[in-house]
Every structure is written in C-alpha cells, then in structure tokens.
C-alpha cells in the first residue's frame, strides 16, 4: 500500500513547464482529480495535499527545496508520519524513456538523477516505488542540464498528458498495493 506520493520538480514559475518538473505536473493532475488543495507546510519544506484513491488516504508532496535537495523535504515528512520506504511512490522525469512513456518500478539506483540521489541519501534506503515519466534525451552534443530545465514542446506536452492519463487510471491499483496490475498495464508500452 502507498501512503505517500512524491512528485519531483523545482519551485518557481520559470520551471513550471520544464521537463524536470514532470513529477510536479503529474501530482497537480492528481490533486485536481481528487478535488484537493495544496497547502504550504513549512515543517516539511513542501506543498502537501491529501487525497483518497479507492478506499485509501494518501499524502501528496511537492518538495520546495529544489530538485537536488528533495531528500530534506521527503525525509522530514516520512519521519513525522512514520512512513515505511515501501509505502512511498516517487514520480520523476526519466531521460531513458521517450516522451509519452510512464513506467512503474520498485527500488534501484538513482541513475544520475539528483532528486532520487538526495532522497536515497536522506532515507538511507532505495526500496521505494518510482513512476518514471519519460522525457527522452537531448540531441547528441546538447547539454543534459539545459535540456531538462527547458520547456516541453507542444508535442512533448501532449505526449506527457497522454501518459499521465494512463498512469492516473492505475493510481487506485498502485495505492492499494496491486503493483502487478499497474505494472502490467503501464510497462507493456514500448518507448
């Protein structure tokens, strides 16, 4: 069962529609779907919302510490609510998947993603679930940091919204702990 869904991104309007904010964008969609509201929780250094999916209440968190320090926010909320690592889903952008692809997995390394790296360091564990939102890779010779911090194109945004719809359709299964059902649905799509 999932008790906490974390969306990774950077605060501020200049980052709002960037590839690196895929996690924030997905959580905004979930909060809208459950008619929730974000509240600024200083003790967690993040925006927090409560939603019910199926019969399960879930905390949603958008860290406001900037991507590279996401673990500060996640760690403080996890310790406060005594949430186990296996009860966490982190939604993040993924260079190794094409735009429009979402895949669910459990555990693993950070693969160079600084937000994941900081969360793993803060929790001293990596056995949380991840919803990887594909953003593709920059063209050869282009800077990765510039790519992830640039705005989505209209086509990429449309592809991402489509993948968000597929992921949202599985959110009740994910939250209730039926990961096999959700993985079978989401992971069958090829990049």
pLDDT value for 172: 94
For residue 142, is it within any domain? yes
Look at residue 188 and tell me whether its pLDDT is greater than 90: no
Among 38, 45, 52, CA closest to 3: 52
Look at residue 189 and tell me whether its pLDDT is greater than 80: no
Look at residue 184 and tell me whether its pLDDT is greater than 80: yes
pLDDT value for 139: 86
Domain range holding 146? 4-186
Catalytic residues: 20
- Say which range, 19-28, 79-88, 106-115, has the weakest mean pLDDT: 106-115
Among 177, 99, 108, CA closest to 133: 99
Whole-number Å distance between alpha carbons of 168 and 191: 19
Helix (H) or strand (E) holding 103: strand 102-106
For residue 41, is it within any domain? yes
For residue 29, is it within any domain? yes
Write out the DSSP string of 32-66: HHTT---EEEGGGTEEEEEEEETTEEEEEEEESS-
pTM over 0.75: yes
pLDDT value for 191: 42
pLDDT in tens, 160-170: 999 999 999 99
Local confidence band at 112 (pLDDT 50, 70, 90 cut-offs): confident
Whole-number Å distance between alpha carbons of 181 and 191: 20
pLDDT value for 165: 93
For residue 50, is it within any domain? yes
The CATH number that applies at residue 27 is 3.40.50.1470
pLDDT value for 103: 94
pLDDT value for 1: 94
Mean pLDDT score, 20-47: 96
Within 10 angstroms of residue 101's Cβ, the number of other Cβ atoms is 23
Between 32 and 100, residue with greater pLDDT: 32
Look at residue 152 and tell me whether its pLDDT is greater than 80: yes
Q: What is the domain count for the chain?
A: 1
Look at residue 187 and tell me whether its pLDDT is greater than 90: no
Find the angle CA(105)-CA(35)-CA(9) to the nearest 5 degrees: 45
For residue 155, is it within any domain? yes
Look at residue 137 and tell me whether its pLDDT is greater than 50: yes
For residue 16, is it within any domain? yes
Q: 92, 23 in Cβ contact below 8 A?
A: yes
For residue 191, is it within any domain? no
pLDDT in tens, 170-181: 999 999 999 999
């Amino acid at each position: 069962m999932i008790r906490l869904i974390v969306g990774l991104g950077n605060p501020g309007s200049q980052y709002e529609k960037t590839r690196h904010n895929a996690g924030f964008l997905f959580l905004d969609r979930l909060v809208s779907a459950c008619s929730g509201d974000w509240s600024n929780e200083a003790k967690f250094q993040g925006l927090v919302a409560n939603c019910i999916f199926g019969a399960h209440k879930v905390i949603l968190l958008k860290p406001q510490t900037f991507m590279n320090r996401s673990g500060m926010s996640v760690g403080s909320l996890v310790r406060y609510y005594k949430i186990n690592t296996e009860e966490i889903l982190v939604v993040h952008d993924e260079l190794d998947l094409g735009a429009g692809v979402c895949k669910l997995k459990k555990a693993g390394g950070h693969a160079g993603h600084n937000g994941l790296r900081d969360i793993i360091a803060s929790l001293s564990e990596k056995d949380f679930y991840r919803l990887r939102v594909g953003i593709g890779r920059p063209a050869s010779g282009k800077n990765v940091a510039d790519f992830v911090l640039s705005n989505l194109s209209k086509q990429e945004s449309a592809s991402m919204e489509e993948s968000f719809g597929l992921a949202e359709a599985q959110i009740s299964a994910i939250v209730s702990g039926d990961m096999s059902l959700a993985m079978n649905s989401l992971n069958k799509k090829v990049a």
